[in-house]
Structure 1
Amino acid sequence: MGKYTQDAQQLLRLIGGKENIAAVSHCVTRMRFVLNDPSKADVEAIEAMKVVKGSFTQAGQFQVIIGNAVADFYNDFVKVAGVEGVSKDAVKQAAKKNQNVLQKVIAALAEIFAPLIPAIMAAFVLVYLERFFRKISPQVISSVVVPFCSLVLAVMAAHFIVGPIGWKIGSAISSVVYAGITGSFKVVFGAIFGFVYAPLVITGLHHMSNAIDLQLIADYGGTMLWPMIALSNIAQGSAVMGMIILQKKNVAAQEVNVPAGISCYLGVTEPAIFGVNLKYGFPFICGMIGSAISAVVCVMTSTTANAVGVGGIPGILSIQPKYMGSFAICMVIAFVIPMTLTFIVGKKKLSMADRVGAGDSADTVDVSAEAGSISATENTETTELNGDGANTLRAFLTGKVIPLKEVNDGVFSEGVMGDGLAILPENDTLYAPCDGEVTVLMDESRHACGLTLENGMEILLHIGIDTVEMQGDGFEYLVSLNQKVKQGTPLVRFDREKIRTAGHPDVTVCIVTEEGNAKDFEFVTDIHAEAGKTEIVLFN
């Protein structure tokens, strides 16, 4: 059994089975599918797979981002599926049936502009001559006459007629681009190109720039277009870095963010763009803004590359030596601005669930923005216990208070989610340890609750270890999302006997996932606490 056999079986089921696969291939980071019926693919479930970094549909292909291990995953997948892989070109041809008119036009433009214009024209001449000689040649000698006559005449036409014409057209295009980069409006040109390059990657039209780059190098001894492309990659990677900082306590998110950011800095942008930045939206825009600003500085300093090379940070190796200093400054801009913008915007836009997730043993439960969308429970009990909760958290359960390290679950005990403590419960109702607002609920499992205090501090209360597997059996919410609660308000009622029968510890943790304006935390452990009365966390 291969390393990814089980994941491959799951993906096969989620895309609609073997009969829904028209063609399959892979590239550097992605599985590329042409599906007979794209609507059968369960995209949400596919993206929830741990091995999957994201997915998207482009040019009629359903592409699943796996990452650097895609080759091994692909080998296991074709064995499990019982299908034969095909080349990327074959996948492109098969995908045309799933494209609308606009997508076909875009795909044609991307393919047309990838090579040099003279080569395109020469290819057209060769095709025409091959058809002509095949039509007039007897079948007996066609296998000799057709290729010989077609190639000889095509080479002559390319050398004396088509080549010079095509070169003039290519030179004209490069002249227009060069004028834009170096002329009076170069700042505007740089800003627009830097801003739109990442969206071009999504459509595939970015391949057009290769032909223009090569023509600029041939006509002017270098290209000022390529440095801006490398900076766009860095900017998108830096937006991911902003997400890494924001989601430092979300283990599941970091499994996608970290490799996506690294690969983007090394020139492979798809995992970052599709797996992270487009998923949340605002990081992609922040990356585009940072790319535009760095591109403006790039054209203002006339930063030029000798050749088209690897994008991202290695792009500096393609820069002409005298411009390496200015390119380094542009790189700093592409690092700092997207990262800073993403962090600032993310602090406002990302929910607590997106930032910290919800941990269960060695796994982390992915909490979506709608995770807390539950209907108000019929039990609206608001009985309060004693205490005002100012600058303290009081016991949320009655029982022995222990340090996190004694939980021994591999996530909470290691402080991955943040600092805190745990209680071995003696009662079956979880109470609010302080005044606050209910900002995280999990309607399917009902085993966790998140509160946000007025000082910006955020806490997560988590009943049991691996209790998410119980799918809500034995748990009842007593509050609703966005409800204002007082210290001592009942939050969750749970069945300790059902938890034990299911084979899970009922130890309940309290994690400070975001400190807000609070500081100087003191966690009081190794004592017996009474719910609503005993102070267990002190802070300023």
Structure 2
Amino acid sequence: MRKYEQLAADIVKLVGGKENVISLAHCITRLRFKLKDEGKAQTDALKAHDGVVTVIQSGGQYQVVIGNAVGDVYDEILASQGINGAGAAAEDDEAKKDMSLLDRFIDLISSVFQPVLGVLAAAGMIKGFTVLLTATDIVAPKGGTAQMLGIIGDAFFYFLPIMLAYTSAKKFKMNIFSAMTVGAALVYPSLAKIMGGEPMYTLFAGTIFESPVHTEFLGIPVLLMNYASSVIPAIVAIYFGAKVERFFARVIPTKVKGFFVPFCTLLVVIPLTLMAVGPVAMWAGKLVGAAAMAIYSLSPVLSGLFIGAFWQVFVMFGLHWGLVPVMLNNVAVYGNDPLVVTYFGASFAQIGVVLAILLRTKDQNLRSLSIPAFISGIFGVTEPAIYGVTLPRKKYFALSCVGAAVGGALIAFFDVRLYIFGGLGIFGYPCFIDPATNNMAGMYNGMIASAVAFAVGFLLVFPIYRDQKVEAGDTELSVTTENGETKSVEREILVAPVSGKVVPLANVPDEAFSAGVLGEGIAIEPSEGRVVAPADATVTTLFPTGHAIGLITDKGAELLIHIGMDTVKLEGKYFKAHVKQGDKVKKGQLLIEFDVEKIKEAGYPVVTPVLVTNTASYLDVVPTEAGSIQEKENLITVVA
């Protein structure tokens, strides 16, 4: 089995099956499903599933947070589960009827930008590091190395309208190659040559819409503009292009549609784009940029404080997609963005909090979560930190937002500007270097602001952090340490899943069980053919033969209940499962029925090991000392 094959299958099953999936996309850490009915998804089971960080329902999307392996899991779902990442147009349109205007806008922006975000960031990182290398004279600015790096970094941004035309075509359901041709027309090299000549005349002189006219089409002026690296024109052009294409598809006879639909579409859409749609979209971009700058100019520090404080909340609900186009548009129109960039300190504040928790906690499970979360956060990927460490401890998540607010305010105070959309986390620093002057002050100030955000998050949490106390009773145990101190530790009591005679694990006639290779625990010689849940849990594995079941309790214990020895050879005969993989079950709930006598008659022992397979995560696994036990009586105590 491939590494993520089982996880992919489980996720699709728990979102309601592939028949419930309209479309699927992914970003840096999340699978983003659009479902026909989110009520069919088993959200609690998904949240509890090994390999899933959490689930977020926002912006009309059902978001399954995976972490750094999201790309591999996404590819596995497409490859093995029969799901098309593009989704179905008719069903997608039907689903949108119930979406709010905000949800539709977020859905549109995320659909267009998500597919290119990885390469967009990669190209930006190359551009940023090229500027850093030339600004520090490590690489000669006009040398061959700088030129080659410039080609690699600039190519994507220069032809960005073609890339956005592709993603917009998938969103608006236009022929992809026709759409890319429209995008290519926006950056066609001859346009720059035509614009370099003397203008024939000028339209809208003296206004912000002043436009020199260098050529005409059928006597109509063409307002040529520089669309390289632009964002809005390609998206708007494809939106209208899709409507034009559908019109021609309706009226042109089927026999000649194959070439006449694109023929007519391109003849109409490209001139219309260059004469009207493109210029209007560029003007709209300037107005959006002007509005953003106006908000920023009212109070840069307050703007930075607000965006910094709420950026992690925006990310959690997918609302940051509404700000990403503003940032890209500002860079395209003005050459830099001083507003949205104030989010930059948020990831550093988050990992400051995580480091404080890591250094103070005595909880080994939390430590094991915090280490990779901290490392990912250094590079700007904070979902593991948010969902695995701080958000479940709400006070500390709020304190990370305080650190992010301070960082955002400082970024605005220092007038740090984003010149290149590039890497996240520490890879983002070179993006603050002004490529026109090689001025590195922005990078240094960005480092200071992010360091302060990190320090604020760390210092707010380190003195006050305490591991969460558990309630007295079944979950608390008093122990005496070597120096005579009495302290409480967390424990979980697992009840007997079957009734019968208790058998030490060492006496089980199978070395894999008796040697404890699969985990510590106990075995039971069943007196009746029933298996019930030993705790509130999620069914993680249910063998098709019904002879074994894997569970993860709500408190994190991973269990294996194996009915008999070699009973897999019965191929399901004499076993009946009452649950399915992914189900949430309650303590004492019937899981499996089996025929004890028939299994014995077939020549198989029925001794049933009950194992804690993640024994290494616990201080101790203590089985009962009773000689016999009844279903639902205390069987095993696991001590954290």
Q: Which TM class, normalised by the smaller chain length?
A: 0.5 to 0.7
Report the secondary structure of 2:55's partner residue.
strand
What is aligned with 1:86? 84
Contact 1:60 1:97 in 2 (8 A): no
Q: CA deviation at 1:227?
A: 3.3
What is aligned with 2:594? none
Contact 2:417 2:432 in 1 (8 A): yes
Change in Cα spacing, 1:421 to 1:36, as seen in structure 2 (3 Å) is farther
What is aligned with 2:68? 68
What is aligned with 2:443? 324
Report the secondary structure of 1:90's partner residue.
coil
What is aligned with 2:103? 106
What is aligned with 2:277? 162
1:340 aligned onto 2:454 = no
What is aligned with 2:381? 268
What is aligned with 2:338? 224
What is aligned with 1:537? none
* Counterpart-to-counterpart distance in 2, 1:108 and 1:121: 13
Q: CA deviation at 1:41?
A: 4.6
Change in Cα spacing, 1:317 to 1:13, as seen in structure 2 (3 Å) is same
Contact 1:282 1:342 in 2 (8 A): no
Q: CA deviation at 1:100?
A: 8.4
Contact 1:35 1:61 in 2 (8 A): yes
1:75-474 equivalences in 2 (<5 Å): 83-87=81-85, 89-90=86-87, 101=98, 105-112=102-109, 116-181=231-296, 183-247=297-361, 249-320=362-433, 321-344=440-463, 346-347=465-466, 350-352=467-469, 372=472, 420-421=481-482, 440=490, 442=492, 444=494, 466=520
Change in Cα spacing, 1:132 to 1:253, as seen in structure 2 (3 Å) is same
Change in Cα spacing, 1:133 to 1:304, as seen in structure 2 (3 Å) is same
Contact 2:431 2:443 in 1 (8 A): no
Residue-pair matches, total: 393
Change in Cα spacing, 1:435 to 1:95, as seen in structure 2 (3 Å) is farther
Change in Cα spacing, 1:468 to 1:191, as seen in structure 2 (3 Å) is farther
* Counterpart-to-counterpart distance in 2, 1:143 and 1:290: 58
Counterpart code for 1:108:
F
Counterpart code for 2:58:
Q
Deviations 1:402-456 (A, max 9, x none): xxxxxxxxxxxxxxxxxx549xxxxxxxxxx6678x685645579xxxxxxxxxx
Q: CA deviation at 1:195?
A: 1.7
Runs of 5+ unmatched residues, structure 1: 354-370, 377-392, 397-419, 423-432, 447-464, 473-492, 500-505, 512-540
Q: CA deviation at 1:290?
A: 1.3
Deviations 1:123-165 (A, max 9, x none): 2332343244445544444443332232233222222222222
* Counterpart-to-counterpart distance in 2, 1:187 and 1:258: 33
Report the secondary structure of 2:56's partner residue.
strand
Change in Cα spacing, 1:275 to 1:163, as seen in structure 2 (3 Å) is same
Of stretches 116-125 and 134-143 in structure 1, the one that deviates more from structure 2 is: 134-143
Contact 1:54 1:274 in 2 (8 A): yes
Q: CA deviation at 1:95?
A: 7.2
Q: CA deviation at 1:329?
A: 0.7
Contact 1:238 1:335 in 2 (8 A): yes
1:51 aligned onto 2:51 = yes
Counterpart code for 1:326:
N
Q: CA deviation at 1:316?
A: 0.2
Change in Cα spacing, 1:496 to 1:8, as seen in structure 2 (3 Å) is farther
Change in Cα spacing, 1:258 to 1:184, as seen in structure 2 (3 Å) is same
Report the secondary structure of 2:63's partner residue.
strand
Change in Cα spacing, 1:147 to 1:287, as seen in structure 2 (3 Å) is same
* Counterpart-to-counterpart distance in 2, 1:171 and 1:236: 34
* Counterpart-to-counterpart distance in 1, 2:371 and 2:91: 34
Report the secondary structure of 1:279's partner residue.
coil
Report the secondary structure of 1:120's partner residue.
helix
* Counterpart-to-counterpart distance in 2, 1:138 and 1:50: 54
Runs of 5+ unmatched residues, structure 2: 114-163, 165-230, 434-439, 497-518, 525-533, 536-621, 629-634
Deviations 1:174-200 (A, max 9, x none): 11212332x241121111121222222
Contact 1:34 1:91 in 2 (8 A): no
What is aligned with 1:368? none
Change in Cα spacing, 1:30 to 1:123, as seen in structure 2 (3 Å) is closer
Of stretches 195-204 and 119-128 in structure 1, the one that deviates more from structure 2 is: 119-128
Counterpart code for 1:193:
I
Report the secondary structure of 2:64's partner residue.
strand
Report the secondary structure of 2:366's partner residue.
helix
Q: CA deviation at 1:18?
A: 6.8
Report the secondary structure of 2:381's partner residue.
coil
Report the secondary structure of 2:407's partner residue.
helix
Counterpart code for 1:51:
G
Contact 2:308 2:343 in 1 (8 A): yes
Counterpart code for 2:462:
F
* Counterpart-to-counterpart distance in 2, 1:106 and 1:29: 20
% same residue: 26
Q: CA deviation at 1:303?
A: 0.7
* Counterpart-to-counterpart distance in 2, 1:59 and 1:280: 25
Contact 2:492 2:638 in 1 (8 A): no
TM-score by length of 2: 0.52
Q: CA deviation at 1:267?
A: 2.5
Contact 1:58 1:203 in 2 (8 A): yes
Contact 1:110 1:206 in 2 (8 A): no
Counterpart code for 1:190:
G
Counterpart code for 1:126:
G
Counterpart code for 1:316:
Y
* Counterpart-to-counterpart distance in 1, 2:412 and 2:17: 50
Change in Cα spacing, 1:246 to 1:10, as seen in structure 2 (3 Å) is farther
* Counterpart-to-counterpart distance in 2, 1:76 and 1:127: 31
Counterpart code for 2:468:
S
Report the secondary structure of 1:86's partner residue.
coil
Counterpart code for 2:430:
L
Q: CA deviation at 1:277?
A: 3.0
Report the secondary structure of 2:392's partner residue.
helix
1:520-531 equivalences in 2 (<5 Å): none
Change in Cα spacing, 1:112 to 1:286, as seen in structure 2 (3 Å) is same
Q: CA deviation at 1:223?
A: 1.5
Counterpart code for 1:152:
L
* Counterpart-to-counterpart distance in 1, 2:489 and 2:339: 47
Deviations 1:373-403 (A, max 9, x none): 6599xxxxxxxxxxxxxxxx9x95xxxxxxx
Q: CA deviation at 1:327?
A: 0.8
* Counterpart-to-counterpart distance in 2, 1:136 and 1:35: 33
Report the secondary structure of 1:169's partner residue.
helix
* Counterpart-to-counterpart distance in 2, 1:469 and 1:12: 34
Change in Cα spacing, 1:120 to 1:276, as seen in structure 2 (3 Å) is same
Counterpart code for 2:372:
P
Contact 2:8 2:77 in 1 (8 A): yes
